[in-house]
Each structure stands twice: as C-alpha cells, then as structure tokens.
Structure 1
Amino acid sequence: MFKGRFYSKPIEDDNQLLQAMRYIHDNPVKGGRASLLEYRWSSFHEYMTEPQITDTSTINALLGSTESFYRFSTSGLPNAYYIKTGRSISEQDYREVAEAALYPLRCVQVKSLEKPPRNEARIKLADIGLSLKQIELVTGIPRSTVFKIIKKGRN
C-alpha cells in the first residue's frame, strides 16, 4: 500500500483475497501510522460495524461473521501476501513471508532440522522469492550453504 501508488496484482483465489485484505489493513499498523481501529482511511472499521461505503459481503461470506473477521485480522499469524517489487521480496516483507511459507515451522527452527526437511525448507524459501541473503538472515544458515543446496535441489 505504501510502496507505490499504481501497483496492481490479480487476486487468484479466496485465500489470496483474505491475505491481501489483511495485508492492506496491516500496512498502516506496520508503518507505525495507527492501530487497526484508529486509522481513519482503512476499511477495517466498516467490517466491524455497519458498512457505509465498503462492500463487505464477499469477505463476510468467506469468514462467516464479524467475530471471525476480527479473529482473522488480529490473529498475529504471519501473512503470506506481499507485493514483489523487484527480483526478490522487499526488506519490509521477507521475514513475515518466510514465516508464512514455513508455518507451522518457525524459520529459526530450520537450522536444527534433519538434513532432508532442512534442505526442503531452504528450497521453499528460495522458490517463493527470498534472496540468498534473506534466507541466511531468517534461518541463520550461511548463504554459501544455501546456494549449494538450492543449486543441487533444483537439478
């Protein structure tokens, strides 16, 4: 939301719609602008009350109730939705995207896994668009090792 004014990305399924909605609502909070309920330009409050200008029917149908919407929006679970602005995921988003990709496994646990699942996790992080440096930062595994595993795993 704060990365560029005219960026668009097609929404392909219901899960992606929910994640994109959470991403949009979370942006002012992550940017330190306000809480979910305080940010006046957000549609979040329209989902929590009687909507005035926002069509909330699709999201409400997917989640079932205002309470479910609130739980989903404030769950604290990592959000897999991000806007790819270059060859890799932005410095702002990569940690949350990595956690979401490996969930319920935490990124800090990758280093202690047995070799096959550890290598699968590294490859998965590369496949979603994390750079070698970002994989090193979230897992604690040197990027030279990550590079070798990814190269070997993709051949």
Structure 2
Amino acid sequence: MANASAVLKPKSHDEEINIGLETKYRAQAAKSLSDILAATYRLTIKSHVYHWNVVGPLFKPLHELTEEHYNALFKASDIIAERIRALGHLAPATLGEAAQFAPKANEVGKLTAVDMVNDLVADHEAAVKVMRDTAEKADEAGDVVTADMLTDRLTFHEKALWMLRAIVAE
C-alpha cells in the first residue's frame, strides 16, 4: 500500500509543466492575465456600487445592465484565474485593496448616471486594450486557449461598451 502522506502531498506550483508553451511566455501571460483579473475585479466592484446607487431617469435600465455586468464579470474572474493556474502559475492571492477599486463613497452621491456610465466606459476600454494585446501575444505563442478565452472576454466588453454608450446617447 502506498504511503498516504506521499500520495496526498501537494505538488509545488512551480513544478515543470510541458504543455507546448515556453516557460518565459507562460510567466508573461500569467502576469498579463493577473492584470486582466485585477481590471475585471475593478469593473465588478464599480458595476455593483453603481448598481446600488444610480438614480434618475436612467435608473431602471442602468440598474438592470450593471447587475447583468457584475454577474458576468464575477464569473469571468474565475475563468481568468483558472487559466493562470493552467499556465503553471498561482492566481494572485491579493488583487490590491478593494477600496482602491471602488469609487470613493463621498463621490458616489455626486455622480450622475451619465458620470457612472462614463466611468465604466473608461474602465472597459482600458481592459479591452490590455486584453487585445495579450490575445495577440497568445496567438503568436500558439496559446490558442488563452487567445480563445480573451476573445470571449473581448466580446463581452465590447458589447458592454456598446450598451453603456447606448443608454446615455442623446
């Protein structure tokens, strides 16, 4: 019978893996994906805070849209973190202080629905730029899984941008 402690001993996260991707690329991809994960959390938190606090004539459509977005973003964070793990790296244990991601409490009451949308648009656009660059590098490295995941994420963010802009269009 095998030694139970040897069987149950977890393997180190830095063990050598051979999935057809260069070690250096995997480290760079994990770093970029960690940045994308942080941006995803930032958008999750902001979308949730704005969901709770939006007022005015745009309340209902923005309240519903931000709820749809923060739920999708929360699910995406797990997908991104699991890809980092599949590349042989630890998902970030800290994503910074959540307080840094959320809008300041004393500012939320002063923001109009349009201000909230514009803030979300800026964060979505910034995330899209990093995702697009990371997806291109993944394609060049033959990392079709990361590229495919980022294509899905880009599709979500570009649709979110369209919808957010449509809500505030005059």
Answer whether TM exceeds 0.5 for this pair. Answer: no
More helix by share: 2
TM-score in terms of structure 2 length = 0.26
TM-score in terms of structure 1 length = 0.28
Please identify the structure whose Cα radius of gyration is greater.
2
Which is bigger in relative contact order (C-alpha 8 A, separation at least 6)? 2
